Amino acid sequence: MGLQQQLHLSAVEPNVVQRSLQRIGATSVGTSLFAMVLGPLDQVSHKLSEGRITIGRSLGALPVVMLTTTGAKTGKMRTNPVSAIPYGDDLALVGSNYGRGTSPGWAHNLRANPLATVSHRDHEVAVVASAAEGDQYEEVFAAAVGVYPGYARYRRTAANTIPVFALAAAV
């Protein structure tokens, strides 16, 4: 059974309002605004709704999961809302950091310790992350652009290569 099925996560087609918000989010102003507010709002809405609601899913039709990694430097558990890209029956993560010049902290954590957990609503799965390279990288990135067209802009404006990780259920 793939991660999508284990987490009861499915992609949804964005409606006209959500597509408009996605277009705004892909602009330089939208990117700056969303970078500041989406993560914290997703964490609050996720907590208050007992895992049922995230802002990214509600406003942008993005499949958002909560990713828990082990801090590369601290060893502490860190939980972040991230967009999960359907990849086959499993999931992938794109560490775009809104197209800014640095990778998100969770990407550094996954490189140091690829064991993590992903949760969606009341479902949680232990996963192993592997850095996508070559053809797999391109496949995941194409799938990501299909979910959120803003990833294409992020890729063009990012100072570094955007990290991409394929997730598989830990055995």
All residues at 6 or more sequence positions from 159 whose CB lies less than 8 Å from its CB, including other chains: 100, 101, 102
* 5-14, 19-28, 119-128, 153-162 — most confident range: 119-128
Question: CA 65 to CA 61: how far, in whole Å?
Answer: 12
pLDDT given for residue 164 in this prediction: 97
> pTM for this structure?
0.86
Which H helix or E strand runs over 13?
none
Domain boundaries, the chain: 3-169
Using a 10 angstrom Cβ sphere, with 0-12 exposed, 13-18 middle and 19 or more buried, the burial of residue 167 is buried
SS3 113: coil
Question: CA 112 to CA 145: how far, in whole Å?
Answer: 27
Which H helix or E strand runs over 23?
helix 16-25
pLDDT given for residue 61 in this prediction: 67
**Architecture label for domain 3-169:** Roll (2.30)
Measured from the Cβ of residue 73, the count of other Cβ atoms closer than 10 Å reads 9
Among 109-113, 154-158, 161-165, where is mean pLDDT lowest? 154-158
Query: What confidence tens digit (pLDDT) does each residue in 26-37 have?
Result: 788 877 777 777
- Range list of H helices, 93-149: 105-112, 134-147
pLDDT given for residue 114 in this prediction: 98
132 contacts 123 by C-beta, under 8 angstroms: no
* 40-44, 51-55, 56-60 — most confident range: 40-44
